[in-house]
Each structure stands twice: as structure tokens, then as C-alpha cells.
Amino acid sequence: MAKKLWEKGINTDEFIEKFTVGKDRELDIELAKYDVQGTIAHITMLESVGLLKKEELEVLVKELNRILDEVIKPGKFEIEEGVEDVHSQIELMLTRKLGDIGKKVHSGRSRNDQVLVDIKLFLRDQIKEIAFLTQKLFNGLVKQSEAHKKVLLPGYTHTQAAMPSSFGLWFGAYAESLVDDLVLMQAAHTIVNQNPLGSAAGYGSSFPLNRTMTTEILEFAGINTNVVYAQMGRGKAEQTLSFAMAGLAGTLNKLASDVCLYNSQNFAFLKLPDELTTGSSIMPHKKNPDVFELIRAKTNVLKALPATIATVIGNLTSGYHRDFQILKEILFPAIEDIKECLFIADYSVSKIKVTEDILDDSKYKLIFSVEAVNELVIQGVPFRDAYQQVSKSIESSTFTPPKEIKHTHEGSIGNLGNDQIKARMKKVMLGFE
């Protein structure tokens, strides 16, 4: 059985070991390529400060790249039974192949900053992928907004038909919401994109490490300068990302709720094609919007993510705690869920069919009351008097709705402002480069 990186000849009960390892063998597979990248950066720095010989560095880098190309990328990487985590497995593979040279890669490094750099590299890539998927959904929503900008539908307040809206506004609203969601995601990216390597166990090292060098090699935007804070960042980065994911989930959740409602027979504002629906085992007529119901359910769970992470990291003093291990079990599956929801939402939104002439139904005529009031105001009637006139006509059943919608200001039915929204999205996306 392989020795642990911390082993000192003291045996740990088998069931205790199993409990402490948890799901690391499963989840750490995601971190394997980042552990290789972090290790190459670290040993390159070690050679520059005289802690490795040039020929040793060359041999180590060659073997690490072989592990990356021949084992990790093809999906063959496994963490063996008795090996605690990805860091232990990769160091074990090096020592099996290279002997004592492989044991030198840990100089000036702790598993604490090793897992920190792995997670930050992993999260940085995941954030970019989330941003890309969000941008795709954004583009689909804007396309639908432009295609249906002249198709009116009722707007609601207090779940009652209130004023005229349009599918241009409806689709566009969710597009703009995604822009704000990515602003928060960009903040998470900024926090994640700081190098903790070299903080060791959280108190630095007596070796003359060059942290600026590893920052440049790993293409981090900067350094978590204070070594104690670098360790305090464990949990903070995950929590910041969880807030951004929860905000994005909130937008998807509201969109899914609208689609489920608008697709129902009582509303029939839009229709989902057959390939996006499922049937009933007993009712032949049913075409259920299961896709959007599941997006709604999954995003409700994601909205609770910040509270879950805050509960795990609450009341922890500075320095490393094993509690942080649980964050991977919480966050990694959640990242897959938000990416899946974004992909499915993008695919589904492009297939939504809208209903024309919804407002021709007489039950919606009262939503034009504000238009009638505004017409009187334009003619010179004081607003409060105009309001009373229209109110009395409604009460006496003599109200006649205006036939034309005259909204011209920015962001209204007649002036969606999608170009401005697209410009904002383009600017936000630049922040992930």
C-alpha cells in the first residue's frame, strides 16, 4: 500500500481513514490536470532558486507531461486504493518512475496550498465555461426578442393582467438579467484568479520561493499576497462563486416558471414543440413541460448553495481546517448542474413558439387603461382627472381600449434597446479573458 504524504509510521484505523478521505478519490479526478500544471510551475520555480538541478527539472517536467498526455487527458487517471488524494497519486506516480527525484517536488509546498492552487485553476476554467454558456443563452434570447418584438402579450402585476407587454420585452428582459448575473460571476472570477501557491501550510516557507514566477507561469492575474489570507481564501472563493451561481440560477428559475405558466392551456401564450415535452401514462392529451420544470427545481436547489457553503465554513478560525474538504462535495456537482441547466435552456429557448394576437381577446381590453389615461393627458387633461375619467368608463362598461401602442422611450415596447444590452454583454465577457 502506498504511503501517505504525511505518514510518520503511525497507523490510522481503517474506518477513520475511509471517513476522512470521503469522496476525494472521486472528486479529485477533476483536479488532476491542474495538479500537474501547478506542480510544473512550482518545480520550475524551485530550479530557478537552486532547490532543483536543471537536469532534475527536465526529467520531472517530461514525466509530468507524459502523465498529463497519456493518462489524464485520455481519462485513464485513477486514484488508487490507499492513496488519499490527487496530490498523493501524482507524487506516487513520479516516485515510482523516477525514484528519489520524484520526492523533491513537494519542497516549499504543502497540500494546503497545493489543493488551493488546483481548485483555483479548476474554478477559473469552470467560471469561463459558465460564462460562455450564459453568453450562448443570452444570444438566443436576444434573437427571439428581435424576432418577436411586435408580438404583444399581457404584462402582470400581483398576478393580474396589468399593462401591455411584448415578447420582445419578455425575452429581452431575461437577456439583460444574464448580463448582471455575469457581472457577479466576473467578481468571482477576479477573486479566483489570484495565486495562493507558495503560502504552504498558511505561514509561508523559509525557502527563497519566487511566487511572482509561479503566478506568471500559471497566468494568474495576481497573488494572494499575505500567506495567512491565501489560506483564508479557501471557502471564500467557493462562497463568492456560489453567490454568482445562485444569481444566475435565479434568472433561469424565473424564466422556467414563466414558460411553465405561459405554456399551460389557460394561458397559451407560447407553445413548446413536441420534442421538448413528455406525456402522461393515463391522459392522452398531455404534453408536459418537464424540461422547464426540472430547470426550475434544479435552480431552486442552486439558489440555496451560498447558505450551504456559509454553514460549512462558518465559525472557522484562520488557518486550514479539514471542514473545507466538504466544499468539493457541495460545489463540484452544483457546477455541473448550472452548466447543464444553461445548455438545456439555450437549446429549448430557441424552439419556443409564440402566440400571435393574444391581446385581441376581449378579456385583456382593460390592460389598455393606462394608454387611455395617457392619451387624455397628451390632450391637456390633468393626470388625476384623466385617471378618474377612464376609471368611470371602466365602471360603466363604456371603456374603449386604444388601438395603438405608442411606447418610444429606451427599453420600452417600441424601443427595446437590445443593442445597448448586447454592448454591455460584450464588455462583461471581456473580463473573463
Contacts with 225 (C-beta within 8 Å, 6 or more apart), sequence order? none
Average of per-residue pLDDT across 333-345: 97
Query: Which sequence positions are flagged as catalytic?
Result: 158, 280
> Which pLDDT score is estimated for 24?
65
Say yes or no to pLDDT of 4 above 90: no
Q: Given pLDDT bands bounded at 50, 70 and 90, which one contains residue 51? A: very high
- Beta-bridged to residue 415, according to DSSP, are 412
Q: Which of 133, 113, 92, 75 is nearest to 5 (CA)?
A: 92
- Do the two domains 14-107 and 112-154+166-197+226-359+424-430 of this chain adopt the same fold? no
Does domain 112-154+166-197+226-359+424-430 correspond to CATH entry 3.30.530.20? no
Q: State how far the Cα of 293 lies from the Cα of 295, in Å rounded to an integer.
A: 5
Say yes or no to pLDDT of 380 above 90: yes
Q: State how far the Cα of 170 lies from the Cα of 150, in Å rounded to an integer.
A: 12
Average of per-residue pLDDT across 128-151: 98
Q: State how far the Cα of 219 lies from the Cα of 240, in Å rounded to an integer.
A: 21
> Which pLDDT score is estimated for 27?
85
The residues spanned by each domain of the chain are: 14-107, 112-154+166-197+226-359+424-430, 362-395
Q: Given pLDDT bands bounded at 50, 70 and 90, which one contains residue 2? A: low
Say yes or no to pLDDT of 1 above 50: no
Say yes or no to pLDDT of 305 above 80: yes
Average of per-residue pLDDT across 200-207: 95
pTM beyond 0.85, yes or no: yes
Interval 11-37: pLDDT, tens: 655 655 565 656 767 889 999 999 999
Are residues 164 and 154 in contact, defined by beta-carbon separation less than 8 angstroms?
Answer: yes
Q: pLDDT above 70 covers what percent of the chain? A: 93
Are residues 223 and 211 in contact, defined by beta-carbon separation less than 8 angstroms?
Answer: yes
Are residues 390 and 373 in contact, defined by beta-carbon separation less than 8 angstroms?
Answer: yes
> Which pLDDT score is estimated for 79?
92
Q: pLDDT higher for 280 or 427?
A: 427
Contacts with 152 (C-beta within 8 Å, 6 or more apart), sequence order? 164, 165, 166, 167, 358, 359, 405, 413
Q: Given pLDDT bands bounded at 50, 70 and 90, which one contains residue 287? A: confident
Q: Which of 261-270, 282-291, 364-373 has the lowest mean pLDDT?
A: 282-291
> Which pLDDT score is estimated for 22?
65
Interval 393-402: pLDDT, tens: 999 999 999 9
Average of per-residue pLDDT across 184-200: 97
Say yes or no to pLDDT of 9 above 60: no
> Which pLDDT score is estimated for 283?
74
> Which pLDDT score is estimated for 6?
43
Query: Hey, which CATH number is domain 14-107, 3.40.50.300, 3.40.710.10, 1.10.275.10, 3.40.50.1860?
Result: 1.10.275.10
Q: State how far the Cα of 109 lies from the Cα of 115, in Å rounded to an integer.
A: 10
